[in-house]
């Protein structure tokens, strides 16, 4: 079987298993800063009850906080879905490594989501993975890429 793809990139087992999300930490830091600002504005509002600008700023910051929390919840749900998909791919990679008698570090995948047609590279051999309709088993067939060279993404240290 010949595979043709515009830019064939393979991801290492370590990359898929340990991929981190620094943007989530950044968003949590921003939310924490906004909570501190809200606390400070509520204190100012309490001290200067006649000055309505603190109340208005307080309301604006609470609305910004609610918006950011909503965005964070959506990101968390997306991250959970992505993590589940990557976990399934790494499980297949582990099984293939065990089946072929090689270390997990020599197994690569061209995608981070499980689907029929995904490619697994073991050392110098590339396999097309066909997922059965029940989703509980897969079949490996030898594949030959048309485009060379292949791109590799390794785990960031």
Range of the domain at 41: 2-153
pLDDT tens-place string over residues 115-142 = 778 898 998 888 998 888 887 788 888 9
Q: Which of 113, 116, 123 is nearest to 141 (CA)?
A: 116
Q: Quote the number of domains for the chain.
A: 1
Low-confidence ranges of the chain (pLDDT < 70): 1-7, 19-23, 156-157
Q: Give the pLDDT confidence score for residue 2 in this predicted structure.
A: 47
Ramachandran sector of residue 135 (left: φ over 0; alpha: ψ -120 to 50; beta: rest): left
Q: Give the pLDDT confidence score for residue 7 in this predicted structure.
A: 66
Q: Give the pLDDT confidence score for residue 136 in this predicted structure.
A: 78
Q: Give the pLDDT confidence score for residue 44 in this predicted structure.
A: 85
Q: Give the pLDDT confidence score for residue 156 in this predicted structure.
A: 63
Question: Do 12 and 123 contact (CB within 8 A), yes or no?
Answer: no
- C-alpha angle with apex 31: 68 to 54, nearest 5 degrees? 90
Q: Give the pLDDT confidence score for residue 143 in this predicted structure.
A: 87
Q: Give the pLDDT confidence score for residue 5 in this predicted structure.
A: 46
156: number of CA atoms within 13 Å, CB side? Answer: 4
- Rounded Cα–Cα distance for residues 127 and 145 (Å): 10
């Amino acid at each position: 079987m010949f595979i043709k793809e515009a830019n064939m990139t393979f991801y290492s087992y370590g990359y898929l298993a340990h991929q981190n999300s620094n943007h989530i930490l950044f968003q949590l830091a921003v939310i924490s800063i906004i909570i501190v600002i809200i606390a400070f504005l509520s204190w100012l509002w309490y001290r200067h009850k006649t000055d309505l600008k603190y109340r208005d700023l307080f309301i604006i910051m609470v609305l910004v906080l609610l918006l950011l929390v909503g965005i964070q919840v959506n990101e968390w749900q997306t991250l959970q879905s992505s993590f589940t998909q990557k976990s399934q791919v790494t499980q297949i990679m582990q099984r293939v490594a065990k089946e072929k008698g090689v270390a997990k570090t020599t197994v690569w995948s061209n995608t981070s989501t499980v689907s029929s047609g995904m490619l697994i590279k073991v050392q110098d051999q590339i396999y097309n993975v066909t997922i059965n309709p029940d989703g509980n088993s897969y079949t490996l067939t030898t594949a030959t890429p048309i485009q060379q060279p292949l791109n590799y993404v390794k785990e960031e240290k």
